[in-house]
Structure 1
Amino acid sequence: MARDTSSLQEAKMLLEVLKRIPLNRKISTTDLHQQLTAAGFELSRRTLQRYLKALSESDMGVQCDDKSKPFGYRRLLNSNDLDRVGLGADGALLLLLAREHLRYQMPPDLTNSLSYLFDAAENYMHTASGSSPEKRWLSKVRFVSGSLPLCPPMIRPSIFNKVSEGLFKQVKLDIVYFKSENEEEVQLRVSPLGLVQQDVRLYLVCCYEDTTQIRNLALHRIKKVELTSFIAEEPKGFDLQQYVDRSPFNYGNAQKVLLEMVFKNRQTALILRETPFNRMQKLEERRDGTFKLTVEVADTVLLTGWIEAWREKAGIISVKKTPIR
């Protein structure tokens, strides 16, 4: 019975290895071992090499590129691959949309562990008829920012990967950071607390060594990063969502105010009912046909910009801000 159990466990492990070998691109033994380790599987490199050799010499559709070292392995796709993983056209479409949305919001080790699904979905769309609804749908979905459109800054994949790994493993990071205020590079040791995406920018929320003061570091200004063996220190009671909610991210600790705004445009009232500032917002239509908005908000440049942008279209008559103590 013990032998049967051992054989079953080995078969399961072979399947885990197989599904992480990408389609039509190579992966090294080192990268594959890292993915398996991150997913919680205990497997030595020597055993993994033995499994890869067995898979590439069988009829499992695994090809080994041994022209140069390190060897690379890839899976050759056939028409039944999506059927094996239980995906249809709608699943392939959803996976490709999810991959783009999650690109900078999940640790690479986690998204890489799903690469076999992403590759299968991509191949499905590539081989689908040009007139298929799913293939055409990818060109019909876009994200439009409500702010002034800007090109995203360049973030080196190696930087993002190491920052994400440090955050995932909860260890301190040694970084070289470009400080824009005095235009110089500084060396810092930080405890990573979270990643926040604001429009096209991505920020590392962290604490400097020996301090609980929270900082926001732009990922595109990190020039070098190394993981340490020291456990990251998190300020007592820190919660990333609460930190972001305290005031609009990266605009300082703004004063809370009671905003009272009177305006004339009915369409603006509809928009504010559909997308309120918060759930405590009050909006009333007055006898003279005007509308009064009452809401507690942070008094930031974002709020000032919003009021000025809507002043003419909304027909704003008056704006009053009362500080909340």
Structure 2
Amino acid sequence: MSDIDRDIMRVLPDAATQGTYLSTPDIYKRLSGTVQNMPSTKTIHRHLVKLEQEGLVEMDQRGTASIWRRKAGASGLAAKAGSMINFDEALALQTLRRFSSRQIPELVAESLTPLFEIAETRLMRTNSETERKYSRWASKVAVESGGFALHYPVIKPDKFAEVSRALFEERKLEIVYRPRHKADNDQAKVVLPFGLVEVGGLVYLVAGTEGKANPTMYRLDRLWDAKAMLESFVYPESFKLETYVRQQRNFDFMVENEVLLKLKFFGGAGDHLLEAPMSKDQKSDRKDDALHVQGTVMLSQRLRWWLRSFGPNVEVLGPASLRAELVAEAAALAKIYSK
């Protein structure tokens, strides 16, 4: 398959997930913004005809015009897997599909829909008790979030596709971003995509801007428009996404500085920290009915949210400034609830 064939297959709607078709001029228009040295519309049409003959594309007529879509399972993987997939592989695929609860895996997994459907069909065709155990396995496993469940904004798959394409191919990305304080913004800007990060159900694009030293975070559900450009950029060797996220703690919301956090837990509230420490230098000690824990952490809004979640079952002993802040909050809460 040639590069232009792959590009055509990429922009075509998939019969497995969509009922729509695209005309040849529509396909040409979608490709023209992302494909260098674009061939003519007639050449695109010839490639579509060839792809149809190979069983990868479906064609229909709309009046005198031909319209096209990608045949279900034409990704190649699904076509080969249909007669070869075994029960172990089918179970693994169905488990992946069921428990991909985060947005990035869900969006990426859309391309695997034909494989998921093949796996589901395979698990339904059981010929022995062992095979029936496979088919019942998915109903015996559950995953539940430890936090309060919120309904997060949905990311548009076509916008995610443009962002991820620009990120993969290291191309500039033109976006129209609508933050909460400017929900009607229609001005486009060009950014340099560095990475994608999912935090607490929300997905962010970390992107640079020419002329600015530090990258900016953009929530993907607030992208009104996104288009991968033809122009490429040099991905900065000095930028490491893992460092940006884990060491610089850029997703901890209003990061301040490192502090030695000293806590006193009651009623077993902090016992989970004995197995999942809050820091690498954590120390703990039981005194009477309380658990004393201390460790070096980054002071941030996320830390405050975590501490508040324990209510009266934790006392902040240090640092003094954080203790004073929470004392003032407790006094304000007492005033509210005493009415």
TM over 0.5: yes
Specify the SS of the correspondent of 2:163: helix
Offset at residue 67 of structure 1 (A): 4.9
Specify the SS of the correspondent of 1:306: helix
Correspondence 1:181-196 to 2 at 5 A: 181-185=181-185, 186-196=187-197
Aligned partners of 2:255 and 2:299 also within 8 Å = no
RMSD: 4.1
Deviations 1:147-179 (A, max 9, x none): 332112022111111011111111111111112
Offset at residue 123 of structure 1 (A): 2.8
Structure 2 residue 118 is matched with structure 1 residue 120 = yes
Query: For 2:70 and 2:262, how far apart are their aligned partners in 1?
Result: 63
Residues 211 and 84 of structure 1: is their aligned pair in 2 closer, same or farther, counting only changes over 3 Å? Answer: same
Q: Which amino acid aligns with 2:284?
A: L
2:94 to 93, 96, 100: 96
Aligned to 1:84: 83
Residues 73 and 205 of structure 1: is their aligned pair in 2 closer, same or farther, counting only changes over 3 Å? Answer: closer
Structure 2 residue 245 is matched with structure 1 residue 244 = yes
> TM-score w.r.t. structure 2 length?
0.67
Query: For 1:307 and 1:165, how far apart are their aligned partners in 2?
Result: 39
Q: Which amino acid aligns with 1:320?
A: G
Query: For 2:225 and 2:242, how far apart are their aligned partners in 1?
Result: 27
Aligned partners of 1:260 and 1:319 also within 8 Å = yes
Aligned partners of 1:107 and 1:161 also within 8 Å = no
Aligned to 1:263: 265
Query: For 1:97 and 1:107, how far apart are their aligned partners in 2?
Result: 13
How many residues end up aligned between the 2 structures? Answer: 282
- Structure 2 residues not aligned, in runs of 5+: 2-8, 32-42, 74-78, 322-339
Deviations 1:207-235 (A, max 9, x none): 22321222111111111111112223545
Residues 168 and 127 of structure 1: is their aligned pair in 2 closer, same or farther, counting only changes over 3 Å? Answer: same
Offset at residue 248 of structure 1 (A): 5.9
Deviations 1:222-269 (A, max 9, x none): 11111112223545521111111122615023221110112343x335
Offset at residue 95 of structure 1 (A): 1.3
Offset at residue 205 of structure 1 (A): 0.9
Aligned to 2:5: none
Residues 235 and 83 of structure 1: is their aligned pair in 2 closer, same or farther, counting only changes over 3 Å? Answer: closer
Aligned partners of 2:177 and 2:223 also within 8 Å = yes
Aligned to 1:6: none
Residues 115 and 161 of structure 1: is their aligned pair in 2 closer, same or farther, counting only changes over 3 Å? Answer: same
Aligned partners of 2:194 and 2:208 also within 8 Å = yes
Of residues 134-143 and 216-225 in structure 1, the stretch that sits farther from structure 2 once superposed is: 134-143
Residues 102 and 220 of structure 1: is their aligned pair in 2 closer, same or farther, counting only changes over 3 Å? Answer: same
Query: For 1:258 and 1:173, how far apart are their aligned partners in 2?
Result: 41
Aligned to 1:307: 307
Amino-acid identity (%): 24
Query: For 1:292 and 1:223, how far apart are their aligned partners in 2?
Result: 48
Aligned to 1:283: 284
Aligned partners of 2:61 and 2:67 also within 8 Å = no
User: Which 4+ runs in 1 deviate beyond 6 A?
Assistant: 25-30
Aligned to 1:212: 213
Residues 180 and 275 of structure 1: is their aligned pair in 2 closer, same or farther, counting only changes over 3 Å? Answer: same
Q: Which amino acid aligns with 1:121?
A: A
Query: For 1:168 and 1:63, how far apart are their aligned partners in 2?
Result: 25
Specify the SS of the correspondent of 1:252: coil
Specify the SS of the correspondent of 2:161: helix
> TM-score w.r.t. structure 1 length?
0.69
Q: Which amino acid aligns with 1:210?
A: G
Q: Which amino acid aligns with 2:220?
A: L
Deviations 1:94-127 (A, max 9, x none): 213324628743697x756645433311333466
Offset at residue 190 of structure 1 (A): 0.5
Correspondence 1:51-62 to 2 at 5 A: 52-53=52-53, 55-56=54-55
Aligned to 2:148: 148
Deviations 1:74-97 (A, max 9, x none): 469xxx985733431x32232133
Aligned to 1:4: none
Query: For 1:239 and 1:148, how far apart are their aligned partners in 2?
Result: 31
Aligned partners of 2:177 and 2:224 also within 8 Å = yes
Query: For 1:113 and 1:149, how far apart are their aligned partners in 2?
Result: 27
Query: For 1:112 and 1:179, how far apart are their aligned partners in 2?
Result: 27
Query: For 1:218 and 1:281, how far apart are their aligned partners in 2?
Result: 33
Q: Which amino acid aligns with 1:181?
A: H
Residues 177 and 127 of structure 1: is their aligned pair in 2 closer, same or farther, counting only changes over 3 Å? Answer: farther
Query: For 2:82 and 2:71, how far apart are their aligned partners in 1?
Result: 19
Residues 107 and 153 of structure 1: is their aligned pair in 2 closer, same or farther, counting only changes over 3 Å? Answer: closer
